[in-house]
Amino acid sequence: MADRQWRGARPLKPPGQGRAAHKILAGMAVLAVLLLLSVIIPLVAQAVPALNAAFLFGRAPGSIAPEAVNTVTMVAISAAVSFPLALLAGLYLVEFARPSRWTRAFDQFTGTVLSVPSIVVGLVVVDVAVVRWHWPVSTLTGILALTLMNWPLTVALVVEALQSVPGLYRDGSWALGASRWQTVTRLILPLALPQMIEQGGMAVARLMGETAVLIYTAGVNVGPGWALGGPGESLAVHLWLLRTEGVTDLASSQAAATGVVLLGLVFLVLWGSRRLAEWLQDTA
């Protein structure tokens, strides 16, 4: 009652008026969220009949264990290769290079290569690795393609994380006599690391869902065991293949189950990287 009186006392804006558009937008937002959920919920519902231990972990054909192993290993190796390379490049750009025409041109350059469509990367990797180098369509070729895709994204996120550390910290450190290297390793990196890890999780999640670049580089089948030289179908490619050409009775639910496993891995990576980032922030 008191609340109502208080709101009524506000001049010129009687309660319930002047927020009509907000209410309409909120209603639309509910619809939009429902639409987005309609992407995931039917997927999970269809997946239920196929989600069993034999499908997830079995060794028989039809199990997606090899695809899951391929996905995780290819993504992990690509991330492990591209992250240090990108970290070094990003550190140089933010902490060592003097801002100039060139560093600004570089921003434009990174932005452009960052947005190169994955199918173009696939085209180039097929041209160079498969055709010119005679690499077979294999896990290693897939790793090469994923690394190339992930590199600019990682450079961009490293630069962004480093730039979010206030310049005053650096000035203070230098004034105390620390070298640039000491400043970077002891002060800047620990401060920027949580953000890098959180954004890095996003990058890894994107790699896991990458399809177009892998179809012609890592292939659409799996070998008898994991090998760098063996075929390396990933979960996302498997989902694409099952959904577009799987014709058995099981194919729909298997495609959905593959999608659920893929989503599970993606969300796990996001959650894990966020928790790790929070933990680092708390301990720092």
Partner 1 sequence: MSSRRQFLHAMGVAGSGVLLGRWPAWAGGPEARYITIMGATSCISYVKAVLPEWERTHHGVKVAVTGGGSYAGLHALALAQADIAMADLAPPGSMAVPVRRYLLGRLPIVLAAWPHIGVDRLSWGQAGALLAGDIVNWRQVGGADVPVVTVSRPESSGAREVVQQRVLGTRRFSPDSIIQLSNGAVLRTVMETPGAVGYLEATAPMHRVRILSMGSRSFSPHAWRLWPLYAEPSLYVRVQAPKEVRNLAVFLQGRPKRQDFGIYFEQRPGQADAR
Partner 2 sequence: MRADRIAALVMKGALALFIAVWVMVAVIVGAGAWRFVSANGLVGPLVSSRWSPLAAHYGILAFVVGSMAVTGLALVLAAPGVLALSVTGARILRGAPQRAFIQILTLFVAVPSVVYGWWGLSVAVPLIRRLTGTAGFGPLSAGIVLAVMIVPTFSIMALQTLRQVPSSLVEGSLGLGASEDQTLWHVILPASRAGLSQGFLVAVGRALGETIAVQMVIGGQSRVLSLLKPGATLTTQLLTDLALMPARTPGHDALDFMALWLMILMAVLVWLQSRVRGMSRG
Subset of 177-206 contacting partner 2 (CB under 8 A): 179-182, 184, 202, 205-206
Residue 232 bridge partners (DSSP): 222
Tokens of 49: 């009949």
Choice between 77 and 214, CB closer to partner 2: 214
* C-alpha to C-alpha distance for 219 and 70, rounded to whole angstroms: 11
Could you say which DSSP state residue 99 is in? P
- Please state the closest distance from residue 58 (CB atom) to partner 2, in A: 23
* Site map (CB under 8 A) of partner 1, residues 82-111, x = contact: --------------------x---------
Q: How far is CA 211 from CA 27, 117, 195, 234, 256, in A?
A: 35, 12, 27, 8, 16
Only segment of 13-21, 40-48, 225-233, 265-273 that touches partner 1 (CB under 8 A): 225-233
* C-alpha to C-alpha distance for 197 and 284, rounded to whole angstroms: 14
- Please state the closest distance from residue 138 (CB atom) to partner 1, in A: 7
Please count the residues of this chain forming the interface with partner 1, following the rule CB under 8 A: 25
10 Å Cβ neighbour count for 232?
31
**CB contact at 8 A, 207 and 149:** yes
Please count the residues of this chain forming the interface with partner 2, following the rule CB under 8 A: 87
Which residues ranging from 29 to 58 are in contact with partner 2 (CB under 8 A)?
A: 29, 31-33, 35-36, 38-40, 42-43
Contact with partner 1 (CB under 8 A) among 68, 79, 94, 137: 137
Which positions ≥6 away from 224 have C-beta within 8 Å? 230
Does 132 bind partner 2 (CB under 8 A)? Our answer is yes
Does 135 bind partner 1 (CB under 8 A)? Our answer is yes
* C-alpha to C-alpha distance for 46 and 143, rounded to whole angstroms: 31
The entry of partner 2, partner 1, none near residue 261 (CB within 5 to 8 angstroms by kind) is none
Binding site for partner 1 (CB under 8 A): 102, 128-129, 131-138, 140, 219-221, 227-231, 244-248
